[in-house]
Amino acid sequence: MKQTSVVCVCVCLALAFSAHADSRPDAGISFEDLRAFTDAWGFIRDQYVEDVDDRQLFEAALRGMLDGLDPHSRWLSADEFHALEEQTVGRYGGLGIEVGSYDDHLLVVSVFADTPAAAAGIEAGDRIVGIDDLELDAYNIEQAGGMMRGPAGTEITIRIRRDNRTDVLAMTLMRELIERESVSIAALGNGFQHVRIHRFQQTTREELERLVSNLESDEQATSGLLLDLRDNPGGMLQSAITVADLFLSARLVVTAEGRGLTQPAEYRTGPGERLVGVPMVVLIDRGSASASEILAAALRDHGRAMLVGEPTYGKGSVQTVWPLRNGSAIRLTTALYYTPAGDRIQARGVRPDVLSSATDGRKADTGDRRQREVDTAGHLPGSGIEVDELDELSRSDPMLADALRVLASISRMQVH
């Protein structure tokens, strides 16, 4: 029975390779290679130190095919695919924390109120060094972030290092349904508004448009808008384009070029824009990735905003998700993004117009060891505000204070 299952798998592989043989004459895959694959499959299944079944080997083969390409291509199990779909709508099973990737761990950026993470006492600044049986390192950080999501009611064990302790804290938590808005707003004084987009999901445009409408209907005009994209890992490309549509009238947002595209794909905004004439500054850092980089570059390239902060992460590749017939899916890198000015984002990132030397307290505590795309193994080559208020902001969030100074300066120039 075992031999039959191995033969069936290899026959399927042979048919798949044969189907592409005519179009891929340089593929270099022969039936001898397939026989070698069969031999390896049998040896592993029969001789590995622990029992391993054909399902494990089949899934490992799928993972291996995708993992060997680049850090962002991967096979998704049915559960992982379902979790990804939940994430795009802002409702998912998880712990209620926002994390950022560093060299060999995940850093807790923030903890949401009334969530399993908050109840367990997890704090911003904690370093997650292990999840269940997985020890985190530079090669599995991409996978590790998604592991904390899962069906509500399921358990997960995470291991944490905290600066004031030498031992590792192990915590077992029960995942719950997390519902999150992706946009928040705070007034900075004298009409300056601080709008933060935490991620791009299906509801982001609707959330931001509601806030913009409130600003436009306010009796006191908005003096300036500070759009904060720090630590925004990206998300849905279409969401970022619809956000750009609020501020750019009939403009190119991004171009995608890939081997499977007969011609470059251009993504544009429609006519009309909101908050016309209101000065805008976009705040970016090395945690700004993918869709947030696209939005920042588009606003800068079309002269709608100045960028303040530090160079972004540099993830300028397009991942397409294809569902498979068994309920799983593959996420495959299919193209690269180019800004309206024609600049490539991949492994380069977006540089700010004003480089901030400031770091907030969280970064100072960690020495700012977060990776950028170029550091990832296997990456693809390629003032209306009072002085005392500003001083206080400089102490609590110096990078935000830098951005506010630039915004205030632009506002003054427009007034005069």
Report how far residue 224's alpha carbon sits from residue 407's, in angstroms, rounded to the nearest whole number.
7
Structure tokens at 134: 């997985």
Told to judge if 301 belongs to the known catalytic residues of this protein, a careful annotator would answer yes
- Active site residue: 126, 228, 231, 301, which one? 301
The helix (run of H) or strand (run of E) holding residue 227 is strand 224-228
Is 161 within 8 Å of 105 (Cβ atoms)? yes
Crossing angle of the two packed helices 237-247 and 291-301, in degrees rounded to 10: 20
Told to judge if 290 belongs to the known catalytic residues of this protein, a careful annotator would answer yes
Residue 414 phi/psi, 5-degree rounding, is: -70, -35
Told to judge if 22 belongs to the known catalytic residues of this protein, a careful annotator would answer no
Report how far residue 416's alpha carbon sits from residue 217's, in angstroms, rounded to the nearest whole number.
25
- Active site residue: 101, 223, 288, 290, which one? 290
- Active site residue: 126, 288, 315, 397, which one? 315
Sheet with strand 224-228: strands edge to edge: 183-189, 192-197, 224-228, 280-284, 306-309, 354-355
Break the chain down into helix, strand, coil percent, rounded to 5: 35, 25, 40
Q: Which residue has the tokens 């969280």?
A: 362
Residues paired with 307 in a beta bridge: 282
Is 127 within 8 Å of 161 (Cβ atoms)? yes
Q: Which active-site residues does the annotation give?
A: 290, 301, 315
